[in-house]
């Protein structure tokens, strides 16, 4: 598919990096289809990250993702999922390539600045978690 889903994580929003991150996303050729600023409750973060519920960091992840406002977006580009994961870089910023969003803005594996969907199927599920069909242009 030509769409992916992303969220700018709370620490990056709190540190005033929304504009810097969106500038990198647009410069890489992605078009913003949907965008807003909102905040997850711990329960909603738990639902969003349900696939990780058996992992040791699940509680910490849900707490961190609900700790402040986030900026979810649906993005469009050819090969959106794969190209966006290349743009954001490795989950752990210690392993992220130079010039990636996480290399520049992540603080740790938990506070890694941004989310990117890992498949076309999950991009559609995650996008519809935040946006209705009449909010996607």
Site for ligand GTP in 41-100 (CB under 6 A): 52, 57, 60-61, 91
Distance of alpha carbon 112 from alpha carbon 104, whole angstroms: 10
Identify the residue among 46, 112, 127, 131 touching ligand GTP (CB under 6 A): 112
The answer to whether 2 is annotated as binding is no
The secondary structure of residue 97, as a DSSP letter, is P
Residue 28 contacts which entry, Mg ion, ligand GTP, none (Cβ below 5-8 A, type-dependent): none
112 annotated binding-site participant = yes
Residue corresponding to tokens 């769409």: 3
Per the CB < 8 A criterion, the answer to whether 39 and 70 are in contact is: yes
- In order of 45, 81, 97, the CA distances from 86 in angstroms are 24, 9, 9
Q: What angle do CA 30, 12, 73 make, to 5 degrees?
A: 35
By a kind-dependent CB cut-off of 5 to 8 A, residue 67 interacts, out of Mg ion, ligand GTP, none, with none
Q: Is 131 annotated as a binding residue?
A: no
- Give the total residue count for the chain: 137
Query: Active site includes 115?
Result: yes
Question: Which of the listed partners (ligand GTP, Mg ion, none) does 60 bind, with a CB threshold of 5 to 8 Å by partner kind?
Answer: ligand GTP
Which position among 118, 120, 124, 125 is part of the footprint of ligand GTP (CB under 6 A)?
118
Diameter over CA atoms, the chain: 39
* Rounded distance between C-alpha atoms, residue 35 and residue 46, angstroms: 21
| Residues tagged active-site | 115
Residues making contact with Mg ion (CB under 5 A): 118
Residues making contact with ligand GTP (CB under 6 A): 52, 57, 60-61, 91, 109-110, 112, 115-116, 118
- The binding site comprises 9, 57, 85, 91, 102, 112
């Amino acid at each position: 598919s030509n769409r992916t889903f992303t969220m700018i994580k709370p620490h990056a929003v709190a540190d005033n990096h929304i504009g810097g991150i969106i500038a990198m996303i647009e410069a890489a050729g992605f078009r913003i289809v949907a965008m807003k600023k909102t905040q997850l409750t711990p329960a909603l973060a738990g639902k969003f990250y349900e696939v990780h519920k058996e992992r040791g960091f699940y509680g910490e992840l849900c707490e961190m993702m609900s700790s402040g406002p986030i900026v979810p977006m649906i993005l469009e580009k050819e090969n959106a999922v794969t190209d966006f994961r290349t743009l954001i870089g490795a989950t752990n910023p210690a392993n992220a390539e130079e010039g990636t969003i996480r290399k520049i803005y992540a603080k740790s594996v938990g506070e890694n600045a941004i989310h990117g969907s890992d498949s076309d199927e999950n991009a559609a599920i995650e996008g519809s978690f935040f946006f209705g069909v009449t909010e996607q242009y």
